[in-house]
Structure 1
Amino acid sequence: MNDTDQPDPLLQQVPLIRNPAFQPPRPITLNADYGKLLSTLPMSVVPPKAAISRDELDAWKRDLEKVEKDGLNPEKRDEDIKVYKDWLSGVRRKVAPGFSFDVMTPTKTGKSDCNEA
């Protein structure tokens, strides 16, 4: 049994010394005088407006319906999957030319002769 509560006899022989070059980390101080925000912020920082018009709401609804319709379309989905698989195989060819997952995939045989013995 390995008892980890007992001190290691080899490590007991090593003297503990204090390194004079070691300085523990000190807390940082933050400035209290922050600069003012810019008068014109980029759109990525500005929160969206809470009140939107009926036209904007209808356009958003149409976009959502289009995304939902495209997601349920099996031909579009199959085409997207094919494009993704082509892209993935292209990336694999760039990283490891000649690599194929089919080489490393095990196959099942019809009948095993090992179990008959």
Structure 2
Amino acid sequence: MAYIAPNSDIQFFPDIGLSPRQENTFYFVSTAAKDSYFDSLQRLGAAQSCSYVRGSRGVVRVQIPIAQIYNAGYMRYRNASFEAKWFYAFVTEVEYINNETTEVSFVPDYIMTWM
């Protein structure tokens, strides 16, 4: 099995008004406009150099205390070794693992990701 360097980035945002039911979404004229919008938002937390994030599993562990991201409602991640594309997701649950680790469950936001 090939070694995959841990170089994924994950960013957590408060609830931004979107729903996993895909009832509301934002539309952008370009990927650059979308990136600029999310770059300007307040982040509750961010993690760098993470293991590869598998969107199909819908769960990731991050070295961020739960108190910091407890109110996260949205997130984005990119796997720099592969796609280097931002993937967007709705945070559905945050769970305490230990004082420095939180497990985050999420559902992909396909509209925002592939817009």
Settle same-fold status: TM greater than 0.5: no
Give the TM-score band, short-chain normalised: under 0.3
Identify the structure with the greater helix proportion.
1
Q: Which has the higher contact order (CA 8 A, sep 6+)?
A: 2
Identify the structure with the greater strand proportion.
2
Structure of higher CA gyration radius = 1
TM-score by length of 2: 0.17
